[in-house]
Amino acid sequence: MRIGVYPGTFDPITLGHMDIIRRGAKFVDRLIIGVTTNIAKSPLFDDDERIAMVKAEVEGIDGDIKVVGFNSLLMDFADAQGASIVVRGIRGVTDFEYEYQLTGMNRQLNARVETVFLMADVSLQPIASRLVKEIAIFGGDIHKFVTPSVRDAVVARIAERGLLQGER
């Protein structure tokens, strides 16, 4: 069985992530979406909330898709899941440069696991979770970037935390 891992913070999960999940699931028998916390980012949602959000969003996508939280090195997580492939989405040159370096380091840790890059659909390339949150914090409409349920969760969390900025 060919198992792939698609890791990310998914804070929040965007239409760009969903595109990579749908397409990545076609390359493997099982795609495991690894939801992790990036220590360089301050998440809007905690681990359990992000895992639940991703599970709800991937329900109904064709393929054997599993959502798992992890807090370890990606190569250790891939090994624990029996994965031989890591799926990564690329939006542009900046993503590629970062992912290229990360892939090189990961190969040093575990040469058995290959990384596969999927270019984001051209209509989804500008979408980044960080920007989605920023737009929402300033009261902008994020419906073009996330599903309605994710939009509602983001807007509610921003209101709950009193993060809404700009004119009121």
Q: State the Cα–Cα distance between residues 138 and 167, nearest whole angstrom.
A: 8
- 143 dihedral zone (left: phi>0; alpha: psi -120 to 50; beta): alpha
The single residue of 17, 50, 88, 133 carrying the catalytic annotation is: 17
- Asked if 41 is an active-site residue, the reply is yes
The single residue of 50, 88, 129, 151 carrying the catalytic annotation is: 129
Q: State the Cα–Cα distance between residues 124 and 112, nearest whole angstrom.
A: 31
Preceding peptide of 148 cis, ω within 30°: no
- Asked if 123 is an active-site residue, the reply is no
User: β-strands 30-35, 85-90: how paired?
Assistant: unpaired
The single residue of 22, 23, 66, 91 carrying the catalytic annotation is: 91
Q: What sign results for the dihedral spanned by CA atoms 55, 58, 61, 63?
A: negative
- Asked if 26 is an active-site residue, the reply is no
Token pair listed for 157: 């969390």
Q: State the Cα–Cα distance between residues 105 and 110, nearest whole angstrom.
A: 9
The single residue of 2, 41, 130, 144 carrying the catalytic annotation is: 41
Preceding peptide of 7 cis, ω within 30°: no
- Asked if 42 is an active-site residue, the reply is no
| Catalytic sites, residue numbers | 17, 41, 91, 129
